[in-house]
Structure 1
Amino acid sequence: MSTSNNKTITSSKTAAHIPCKFEVTPSIDPKNKNNHLTFIPTDKNSNNPNLSIIKKSADDDMESRPLCIVLGWMGSTQKLLIKYINLWTSRGFNTLSYRADYFEILSIFGIRRKAEVMLKQIANYLKERPNCDSVIFHIFSNGGGFLYWTFIEYMLGMEEYKSIHPMIKGVVMDSLPTFTNKQLFTGFWTLAKPMGGGIGTYMALPLTAAVWFPYFVLYRKYLTHPKNQYVHTILYSTDDKLIPGSEVEEFIKRLKQYIRDDLIHIQHWEKSEHVSHLRHHTKDYIRNINQFLVAVQAEEKRKTLPQAKL
């Protein structure tokens, strides 16, 4: 393993974590321009969640801890995302995170190229830490969903990344996805105001939606791919103005055709704004995170049973 000298890596001031000592390996070096994902380590005082029952590291070194990849919504900021990152670092996870801006996500070709660079960073991270064999995702809105879909597509289709997919233990999906063609076009229109609301924006967005359309088929395909047999926790609201609850319910119907029912966990709220469920329903949200981890551990235990059918 290629490493540099030991250094202390700390999260940002808003994270308020106790510093942990980590190897500054190439995959997490903040000076590396190709590292689009931001690394924030586990809280030093947190317990190892031990997601993998099949394989455990010889000792509880911090670098063997499971990895949570947090993919924020379009236009999210580090200040907004850090509270979600802290949910995982306080539970013993190391984290990699990314926040895409509006214009970046709208460029399908650019975001797919960037996704491959990020996936290479993830692959290098895992190669540098051979005792880390558990990965989970926490994704938000279509901004996080688009990246997650591309990761899954590349993991299943590109030889150099195929070893990562079996490491995925689960995904928490907050306020996503858009799932019908009609809502795809409607969703692009709703982005006009946060993107400035100019005439040019309103004219360009329908054209952007047309470019996106063939890739939207892939979005649906890989979000519900039958090889994604791991825990899915889906958090959504009826009165979400950006991604209506009916869209998420269409996704759930399709997901249940390919994924075992016991791997699908749903939390539905009547009143809660888009990507604001943690703020409006804090206790429920944290309970769902804890239940997600229990479900992941139960699924790992099930895999060890002789009669297990994957």
Structure 2
Amino acid sequence: MGSLSGIFQRPVIAASAVALASVSSDLRDKIWPSKPLDTRLSSEQSSGYISNLISETKWAHISDNSFSKSFATKSLIPIPNFRHPMNNVDNNCLSNNMAYYVPSLEHFLNVYQSAQLANAPRPIDYTSRVSNATSTDAVYRWHLPQPNAIDLPTNSKTVVVLLGWLGAKQKHLKKYADWYTSKGFNVITFTFPMAEILSYQVGGKAEQHVDLLVNHLAEWLDEECRKNLVFHTFSNTGWLIYGAMLEKFQRQDHTLTERIKGCIVDSAPVAAPDPQVWASGFSAAFLKKNSIAAKGYRNTDEIAAKPTMTEAALLVVLEKLFHVILNLPAVNQRLSNVLVQLKSRQPSCPQLYFYSSADKVIPAGSVESFIEVQQQMGRVVKSCNFKSTPHVDHFRHEPELYTTQLSQFLNDCVLNSCRHN
């Protein structure tokens, strides 16, 4: 399919103008990248670490006895190969060309420079290879386990992959990553810049980013047979990305899906290409806290709340737009393939669903119907209806219930399987 930017961006921007009074001030950041990241480094950094960055090493081994008395003295930090040419590099300066060829270079240098792991480890970014990429535009970010985490030796063999919702940024997923790393898990947070979703094309840049993550995870799993994956998806966007990753895992090596030990689905799914759901999701991404999707309810008056006139106008335009887009042959076929994967070809691992009767984007009935189908297929399925919390906001509104349910699921369904293996 050709780029959707022509048929997609213009109506969305026009609809956004209708809702201008309600759109938050950072809408521009969602659609157009912000200022480039300053990648200038000191002469000490460049002279001390440049040889390491251009080496053939796949994985950086960092030794530190203070990391944990009960943990191995060598800890693996995943760093991909960089074999790109670097021009005009000497002992005193690094050319700005490095910002183009080596994504998030400064983060890697920080890891090398402070490889004691006595404090909470710095995250590692993998960014798009574009000259104006920023840390908030990272394709994905790797978060290391906290050194004082409980069950560190066991849980550090598992990577939790957090797949963000539409419009999510790395900072929005940090609280989830922090909770997992405090338990000793490795974590990857994955988000798409809004611009890439607006200009989506089958096989284009967005899917190339998914390929990059799948290949990295496959390499990490290949290092040791006891390593495992857990996926935690948000909204239909994260859930569909999960389905695309499952496709690629099975195409690359079907045994990789056996290493997936659990899947947590937050605020999803609607297992059909529904224009109304897509319109609601994009409206919420544009309007953020001004959207009705960001509001739960505590009483009957709030249940009956209606969107503002500007949001209602935006929803009308978006719904008509997605009615056309979702019926385009290439788009419809791509979505159908992913949905079939998620409905009937998921791994046999346990599943946990977080949803809410108050969700204005994903109807609770759609989630419950999908859960029933999965149970009929013999899957181990757990669920929790938060009743009154908004879309993808259950953790913030009910943190104790959210983490209790999550801990119980991980202990009862996921970690026991990992320990057995």
Give the TM-score normalised by the residue count of structure 1. Answer: 0.76
Where do residues 200-279 of structure 1 align in structure 2 (5 Å cutoff)? 204-211=321-328, 212-226=331-345, 228-260=347-379, 263-279=380-396
Q: CA deviation at 1:235?
A: 0.4
Q: CA deviation at 1:79?
A: 2.0
State the partner residue of 1:13: none
Q: Does 1:80 align with 2:176?
A: no
> Considering only aligned residues, what root-mean-square deviation do their CA atoms show, in Å?
3.2
Equivalent pair of 1:67/1:132 in contact (CA under 8 Å): no
Q: Does 1:133 align with 2:227?
A: yes
User: Shift of the alpha carbon at 1:245?
Assistant: 0.4
Amino acid corresponding to residue 118 of structure 1 in structure 2: L
Instruction: Decide whether the 8 Å contact of 2:272 with 2:339 is kept in 1.
Output: no
Instruction: Assess if the C-alpha contact under 8 Å between 2:279 and 2:318 holds in 1.
Output: no
User: Quick one: distance in 2 between partners of 1:247 and 1:298?
Assistant: 30
How do residues 1-310 of structure 1 correspond to structure 2 at under 5 angstroms?
2-3=57-58, 23=77, 25-26=79-80, 30-31=104-105, 36-48=139-151, 65-105=157-197, 107=200, 109=202, 110=204, 111-127=206-222, 129-130=223-224, 133-156=227-250, 158=251, 160-181=252-273, 184-193=274-283, 194-195=285-286, 197=314, 204-211=321-328, 212-226=331-345, 228-260=347-379, 263-294=380-411, 295-300=413-418
Letter of the 1:170 counterpart = G
Which stretches in structure 2 are left out of the alignment for 5+ residues?
Answer: 1-55, 64-73, 83-102, 106-125, 129-137, 288-313
Offset from partner CA, 1:23-57 (integer Å, 9 cap, x none) = 463179844656832111110111336669xxxxx
Deviation of the 1:105 alpha carbon: 3.7
Change (3 A) 1:85 1:186: same
Where 1:47 maps in the other structure, the secondary structure is: coil
The 3 A distance-change label for structure 1 pair 177 and 23 is: closer
Offset of residue 112 of structure 1: 3.0
Kindly provide the amino acid, as one letter, of the partner of residue 151 in structure 2.
Answer: N
Equivalent residue of 2:232, what SS?
A: strand
Pairs aligned (count): 274
The residue type equivalent to 1:251 in the other structure is F
5+ residue gaps in structure 1?
A: 9-19, 53-63, 305-310
Deviation, structure 1 residue 142: 1.1
8 Å CA contact retained: 1:174, 1:234: yes
Give the Cα separation in 1 of the matches to 2:81 and 2:368.
Answer: 37
Within 1, Cα distance between the matches of 2:243 and 2:286?
A: 24
2:67 maps to what in 1? none
TM-score between both structures, scaled by the size of structure 2? 0.58
Q: Distance in 2 between matches of 1:71 and 1:115?
A: 11
Q: What are the Cα deviations for residues 166-198 of structure 1, in whole angstroms up to 9, with x where unaligned?
A: 1110011100011245xx111222245344859
Please identify the structure whose Cα radius of gyration is greater: 2
Deviations 1:194-238 (A, max 9, x none): 448599867643332223333333333222335511110100001
